[in-house]
A = this chain, B = another copy of it.
Amino acid sequence: MDNSTLIGMVSIITAGVTMAIGGMIPALGQGKSIAAALNSLAQQPDANQTITRTLFVGLAMLESVAIYCFVIAMILIFANPFWNHFIA
C-alpha cells in the first residue's frame, strides 16, 4: 500500500459516501415539501399560484445542499489536490 493508493482509496470512498449520505436528507426534505404542497392544493385549490411558487423556491433551496455534496464528490474524483500532489 503506497501513498497514492491510500489517497486514491480514501477519495473514492469519501466521494461515494458524501454523495449518498449528503443526498439523503435533502431528498427527505423535498419529499416532505411536495407532500405538504399536495395537501395544501387539496385544501385550498385557489391559492395554487402562491403554493407552487413557494414549493419551487423551497425545492431549489434543498437541491442546493445536495449539490454542495455533489460538488465535493466531483472535486474529490476529478480535481483532488492531494492526489495531484502524490502522482506529481
Contacts and interface: CB of A to CB of B under 8 A. Distances in A.
A73 B36 CA distance: 32
Contact of A39 (B40, B50, B58, B87): B40
Given A42-B43, A44-B43, A10 B7 contact: no
How many chain copies? 14
A69 to B, nearest CB: 6
Give chain A's interface residue range (CB within 8 Å of chain B): 35 or more
Interface of A: 1-48, 50-52, 54-55, 58-59, 61-66, 68-70, 72-73, 75-78, 80-83, 85-87
| Closest 10 pairs (CB-CB, A-B) | A29-B31, A40-B42, A34-B58, A35-B36, A14-B16, A20-B22, A16-B18, A8-B82, A42-B44, A24-B25
